[in-house]
Structure formats: C-alpha cells, structure tokens
C-alpha cells in the first residue's frame, strides 16, 4: 500500500538542499499523493518552480514559525493558491 504523503523534513537543511529534495521527490508522486515539506522558513523560490512544472501547493505557518507546505499535482489540488 502506498502512503498518501511523501515526508521531507528539511528544517535542518541549508539551501538549496530542500529544493533539491523536493525536485527529486516530484517524479515519485503517484495519483492522490502529496509531498509534506517541513521548513524553518517560507520557500518563496520554490513556488514558481512548482507552478511551471504543473504542481500546486498549500502553505501553513506553524505556531513555532516553521512552515508546512503540501505539494500536489495542480489538477489534484483545488486549494493551491499563491502565498502573499
């Protein structure tokens, strides 16, 4: 059975490692799956790359100031919106 999420905890990684890990995980996504990316800061450079490759995202800031970004194929992510 395939998990619904691929988890990437990049809170202790320095740029560009989080971006590289996401780029490696994108081709692994199966229908209905998402990537859950954990970061200490918001990944603004990642968003246009995702859009250009047909992916959407949902960004949630956590109480501790860290971020959770859910990444899915754009057609599977009706709530994917740009972050201000």
9-38, pLDDT tens digit by residue?
A: 999 999 999 999 999 999 999 989 999 999
User: In whole angstroms, what is the distance from residue 51 CA to residue 47 CA?
Assistant: 6
Which tokens hold the place of 7?
């988890």
**Residue 78: is its pLDDT beyond 50?**
no
pTM of the model: 0.85
What is the per-residue pLDDT for 54?
A: 96
Number of domains in the chain: 1
Q: Is residue 70 part of a domain?
A: yes
User: Which domain CATH number covers 59?
Assistant: 3.30.110.40
Q: Is there a contact between 50 and 57 (Cβ–Cβ < 8 Å)?
A: yes
Q: Is residue 81 part of a domain?
A: no
Q: Is residue 53 part of a domain?
A: yes
Please give the C-alpha separations between residue 22 and each of 8, 13, 63, 64, in angstroms, as whole numbers.
8, 12, 23, 22
Q: Is residue 83 part of a domain?
A: no
**Residue 41: is its pLDDT beyond 50?**
yes
- Pick from 80, 71, 78: nearest CA to 26: 71
Q: Which residue has the higher pLDDT, 71 or 3?
A: 71
Bridge partner list, 57? 71
Q: Is residue 82 part of a domain?
A: no
Residue span of the structural domain in which 40 resides:
5-76
């Amino acid at each position: 059975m395939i998990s619904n999420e691929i988890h990437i905890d990049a809170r202790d990684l320095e740029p560009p490692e989080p971006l590289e890990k996401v780029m490696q995980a994108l081709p692994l996504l199966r229908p209905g799956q998402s990537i859950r990316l954990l970061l200490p800061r918001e990944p603004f450079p990642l968003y246009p790359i995702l859009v250009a490759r047909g992916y959407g995202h949902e960004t949630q800031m956590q109480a501790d100031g860290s971020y959770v970004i859910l990444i899915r194929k754009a057609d599977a992510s009706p709530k994917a919106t740009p972050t201000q």
